[in-house]
Structure 1
Amino acid sequence: MADRTGGEPPIDGRSTRWDEHKAQRQLELVDAAVALIEEEGARFRVQRLAERVGLPRSVLYRHFKDRATLDELIRRRVVESFMRGMEPTLTFDGTIEEAIQRVVGAHLDWVAQHPRLYAFMGVGEHAMGDGSLVADTKTAIAMMLGDRFADVLKALGVSEAPIRSVAIGIVGFVDASVNQWVRDERREQSEEELRAMLCRSVWAVLDATLRDLGVKLSPDQRVADLERS
């Protein structure tokens, strides 16, 4: 007879499969909630979600601890969508100007395509460093940009620079401007005008920072050429 004393208890395959099924079902319900927000707005009711997926509300809640848990899982799903749109733009391919336009454009394009999801995230309510999921996402983007800026500067012979602070400032500025534009019912700028203003402003900050470090660059210069210099 096998010795069952000590060690970890055997894993029940049926239990593992059931856990996987529950996780998949939860994900399907979260995706349904995201689709509902896209259609009806950020202040959706759980009853509407239950009707959409064909479940009684009480059964729906068995998949989530409470409404706060459901909302957090939705935010995580929305952030995943946002980051899928942003991450490919952080490569700095092409010229400096093209890189700026690509990053700013990806942010604006996602917001324009998903305004209700953006509102649900409560972006304007969370500043970097407050510990929330939204704030952590902003910080992650700023850190990725900061690392790329630092790589370029090192290639130019500048090893020490407060570039992460600059990256955080740029992300905060773009985020605040876009958030205000989305919420403003009487917009003073079109989407294209906002895009152009943000790109000009980001370059102005970068240009001023570079000049303080003794580096003069043109926005038409290719980033890859700078890294090989």
Structure 2
Amino acid sequence: MNSVDASVNTRHDGRRGRWADHREQRRAELTTAAIEAIRELGPEIGMESIAAHAGVSKPVLYRYFADKSQLWQAVGQQGAAFAIAAIGPAVAAVREERDVIHAAIDAYLAHIEADPHLYLFVVHQPGIARARDVVAEVIDTVASGLASILGDRLRALGLDTGPALPWAYGVVGYVQTTADWWLRRQKPISRAALSDYLTTLLWSGVSGIKAAADLPGGLAVTGR
């Protein structure tokens, strides 16, 4: 390749890189606008209303998102980041194990209570082709963190850490399912009461690990 060809290719790559950067920035802006529209107009909003709220035409919106499924994925990823950002600081602020459980539950409930339209758009969106399930990704992230906590507790007791991950997924699924019922039913009980109810049941399980290990046929001591 001569110097002229190299120069042409460099300019071409530069333009392509700038276009890719512009496209990602524009997608991010439209995703933010879509979230604002969902919060204002509700979870059943259509693409036309989202485009109007963003100040663009539908063809322009479809230039960046081929269909509603792609927009749902982008909104879902941002919504997942919001949820994790809400739970992390709340958990980090406490040290006692029961308080960690309560803080995580209450932070999650507070988050979906404050942003119900976005939650419902992401979790209960019919007719969406989910090439990437952002809801499952959030569950994976939270469950992995909880599994680490449970694994440390089991290890400290000299017990088998094998149950940590399935227990973590069970806990996260339990809280998410109950929280979903609570929000869809227009919060039939207070958030404080629900947080306490869920914490009490879950803490009974966590605090019962040692007791279970002391029973005949209880958790095995493996040192793993």
Tell me the TM-score normalized by structure 1. Answer: 0.80
Query: How many angstroms apart in 1 are the aligned matches of 2:124 and 2:44?
Result: 15
Q: Deviations over 1:81-111 (max 9, x none)?
A: 1111123345584112211111111111101
Cross-structure match for 2:204: 204
> Which residue in 1 is equivalent to 2:22?
21
TM alignment of 1:49-128, pairs within 5 A: 49-91=50-92, 93-122=94-123
CA RMSD of aligned residues (A): 2.7
Structure 1 residues 16, 145: closer, same or farther in 2, change over 3 A? same
Deviation at 1:152, TM superposition (A): 2.8
Structure 1 residues 211 and 117: CA distance shift in structure 2, 3 A:
same
Judge which range, 27-36 or 151-160, deviates more: 151-160
Equivalenced residue count is 207
Unaligned runs of 5+ in 2: 127-131, 216-224
**Structure 1 unaligned runs (5+)?**
126-130, 216-229
Question: How far apart in 1 are the matches of 2:79 and 2:187?
Answer: 27
Report the AA paired with residue 60 of structure 1: L
Q: CA deviation at 1:209?
A: 2.9
- Change in 2 beyond 3 A, CA 1:96/1:115: same
Match of 2:129 in 1: none
Counterpart of 1:32? 33
**Deviations 1:192-218 (Å, cap 9, x if unpaired)?**
111110111110121233321249xxx
One-letter amino acid of the structure 2 residue matched with residue 43 of structure 1: E
Q: Is the 8 A contact 2:77 2:134 kept in 1?
A: yes
Pick which of 161-170 and 25-34 moved more.
161-170
Greater RCO, 1 or 2 (C-alpha within 8 Å, sep 6+)? 1
Q: CA deviation at 1:146?
A: 0.6
Match of residue 144 from structure 1 = 145
SS in 2 for 1:12: helix
Partner residue, 1:194: 194
